[in-house]
Structure 1
């Protein structure tokens, strides 16, 4: 390999690739795995298998998918690279062929015509009995849920007009529909988008095109029983900058975050755009409608939360302005007024909820925090923390798992991977969601570390 493996620029500093695949049968378990926790916890994240150019972003890493299989109190672990077209070409050449994040002008000429963007590294997502590794600039990559073998690109039976599908789809808990969108749907990078709906059996039933007010990032969106909300943030694309070898995204402080809201049963022609200063959103916890009010709960920052991207003048952005607080953003569709109410004390990211209550009024949310894993109660305003002092700042995305299909909201477990930097290893934390302050009921120790995955899902055995 003729190049050094430079560290990538991530959300929390520099990150060095780990570059390995592994199997561990009968993992070490401290405590006791609850008897009613049975299923597979899938995660996916970036880890470069081959070198990157110096200063490249972590989100350009090759996808690594992993699973903790939990059954009868025992846990098995497996992780594999997602065999994308891009990774296959580099493995054949035994060297780096692709350049910086979403910039084809920094690639080796031999890559012309290949799928250079799809690293399948953002979200492990399950729908209609299939497992996918998602990436917002590409089609889903289907994965065998038992072996983690890469099965190939999934395109809804070639019915999609869009070239992209979001890495943050929503599943309607009542209909089983997969709701999503395509950002830069035709890769013209002018702000073109599509709304996409896939039924519970994997059939595309709706696709509508529209334009956002400016060509900014739309990494996540929100769905309620009555409305769809498209947040567009002022991390903008300029192909002139990209052609000169610059970053795909750059923060434009002269632009304001905008939120497009439309009736769920209506048309994209009915989208109303709201400017919301100081409401930079990366991820959504949940959303619900209340008459003419639309509520979105999310970590919101005053400035750029994607600190690896500079501003349009090439300067680093203020990290203090990128610190997100869990907040409730409320839109009054009658008056046009918008309000933001912060949840006291909740600095954090990677928000999740009990997804049986997705798109509806709900009570509990979960997120990673500086202290560990935090549960918030929107009804009482209380916070409950499963502290991880041995892994300071090392917790990743928490995922809620209900005890049973009909369990009350929040009755179940939170699973979350933590990186223990002092011991160069990782562990899976299992906490009782209603007793977070008591700490983990079980900890699954791996004998090695794991890359920082972004998003995942837990598929309970009773879901089959």
Structure 2
């Protein structure tokens, strides 16, 4: 059976803590590393340094940053915990101090006044020559890209009014701008949200605030060359529930997903909200505009794909309703009509594209399925599949790396970590993006397994 989001993120049975930091020089490599693949593949995910609470979600783990460096014909590996304020306090106490995901009312009393939410565990992101570990309820945490040493939080030179930045920023490939949004910007949890734009040099150039229609989850967002898109999903925050020790989010089946669209050169006062029943999403593949038509490509589910959270009545939700299919949502800004067109057969999550085409009309996207890594061709409608020999543990997020800065779209490589649970180890697969069905051109083997990571980036030399 295909999996909902919480399994598609790459965890499956990887819920235990690994709890180690490691260096491996000259990893075992099988096959032939492409000479064009030069640089560092950074990835980050949750790994509990101290035991979690019973029944807590794995996304509440401490950030573990790792890197595969491709240089001089070999590959070196390193992983280090992101040393957040939260982790430092627990190391000093030598025990778990912080409770449930985003619920301060379940914490040890000695944590009062500390930064309890920032685990820096969601996205390894590079911009203006700096590396960050992102988490959507916090400021970015800067990481030394050479040593993986934690350098501290970063908030645009103390210019941000918001207390949060999305874990899914978008970089315009033409301007170099970092587009972001801050959901629950002041941590009132009423739907207060900010749009943030940072220039290619790391300077904040725009911050505007608006209120979403309801206080729902907004894990990702999108830009096109002409528009900004804010998805708000019906997993809502109720502070009465939180104060009673309940979950931060709960799925409300009586609410529909809403998508806000504004002109990119305009103001948040121009956001138009579209209610789209049965279109729940977590991650964006890409988006682009054609005049008054706006296309958004994403894994779309008819119900709750964040199944680590129950519904507002405290019940588990139907797993079948949370299974996402890569789909195209098309918004007609003149008529107000919205259509959903699934990509036939492409059930899966963790979508990426050739990011040189972010915000533009594009052809190729990549995602993971339960037993494969998949390339979709929006022009021809074809799917190309790289089957995984070690299913069902399968792959984590696939990341595209262009063969050269000026290579045609899709010409390059896909790197993807695979957990081989039966052998308690992991491999990094290197695929030719245009020949994925031929299998890996190179496999980088680690002598141990890896925790599940969420999102990463490749920084070329």
Asked whether the two chains share a fold, i.e. TM above 0.5, the reply is: yes
Q: Is the 8 A contact 1:123 1:133 kept in 2?
A: yes
1:72 is displaced (CA, Å) by 2.6
**Correspondence 1:401 to 2:401:** yes
CA distance in 2, matches of 1:258, 1:166: 18
Partner of 2:428: 428
1:343 is displaced (CA, Å) by 0.3
* Structure 1 residues 116-265: aligned runs within 5 Å: 116-265=116-265
Bigger mean CA deviation after superposition, 392-401 or 56-65? 392-401
1:13 is displaced (CA, Å) by 5.2
Instruction: Summarize deviations over 1:401-458 as a string: whole Å, max 9, x none.
Output: 0010000000000000000111111110000000000000000000000011000000
Partner of 1:111: 111
Q: Is the 8 A contact 1:242 1:248 kept in 2?
A: yes
**Correspondence 1:295 to 2:295:** yes
1:393 is displaced (CA, Å) by 4.0
CA distance in 2, matches of 1:235, 1:420: 33
CA distance in 2, matches of 1:308, 1:445: 31
Q: Is the 8 A contact 2:371 2:391 kept in 1?
A: no
Partner of 1:323: 323
Q: Is the 8 A contact 1:293 1:333 kept in 2?
A: yes
Does the residue aligned with 1:269 lie in a helix, a strand or coil?
helix
Partner of 2:446: 446
Q: Is the 8 A contact 1:10 1:58 kept in 2?
A: no
Count of residues in correspondence between the two structures: 453
Instruction: Summarize deviations over 1:160-182 as a string: whole Å, max 9, x none.
Output: 00000000000000000000000
- Please list every run of 5 or more consecutive structure 2 residues that lacks an aligned counterpart in the other structure: 1-5
Instruction: Summarize deviations over 1:33-88 as a string: whole Å, max 9, x none.
Output: 10010000000000100111100011100000000000132000000000000000
Does the residue aligned with 2:331 lie in a helix, a strand or coil?
strand
CA distance in 2, matches of 1:292, 1:156: 34
**Correspondence 1:313 to 2:310:** no
Instruction: Summarize deviations over 1:340-378 as a string: whole Å, max 9, x none.
Output: 000000000000000000000000000011232100000
CA distance in 2, matches of 1:385, 1:21: 33
1:10 is displaced (CA, Å) by 6.3
Q: Is the 8 A contact 2:393 2:421 kept in 1?
A: no
CA distance in 2, matches of 1:10, 1:352: 17
Q: Tell me the TM-score normalised to structure 2 length.
A: 0.97
Does the residue aligned with 2:50 lie in a helix, a strand or coil?
coil
CA distance in 1, matches of 2:233, 2:440: 36
Does the residue aligned with 1:89 lie in a helix, a strand or coil?
helix
Structure 1 389/40 Cα, relative in aligned 2: closer, same or farther at 3 Å?
A: same
1:291 is displaced (CA, Å) by 0.8
Does the residue aligned with 1:241 lie in a helix, a strand or coil?
helix
* Structure 1 residues 275-424: aligned runs within 5 Å: 275-424=275-424
* Structure 1 residues 86-101: aligned runs within 5 Å: 86-101=86-101
CA distance in 2, matches of 1:358, 1:123: 17
CA distance in 2, matches of 1:96, 1:454: 23
RMSD: 0.9
**Correspondence 1:67 to 2:67:** yes
Larger relative contact order (CA 8 Å, sep ≥ 6): 2
Q: Is the 8 A contact 1:181 1:196 kept in 2?
A: yes
1:17 is displaced (CA, Å) by 1.0
Q: Is the 8 A contact 1:251 1:312 kept in 2?
A: yes
Partner of 2:44: 44
CA distance in 1, matches of 2:459, 2:12: 32
CA distance in 2, matches of 1:356, 1:455: 18
Structure 1 10/238 Cα, relative in aligned 2: closer, same or farther at 3 Å?
A: farther
Moved over 4 A (4+): 9-14
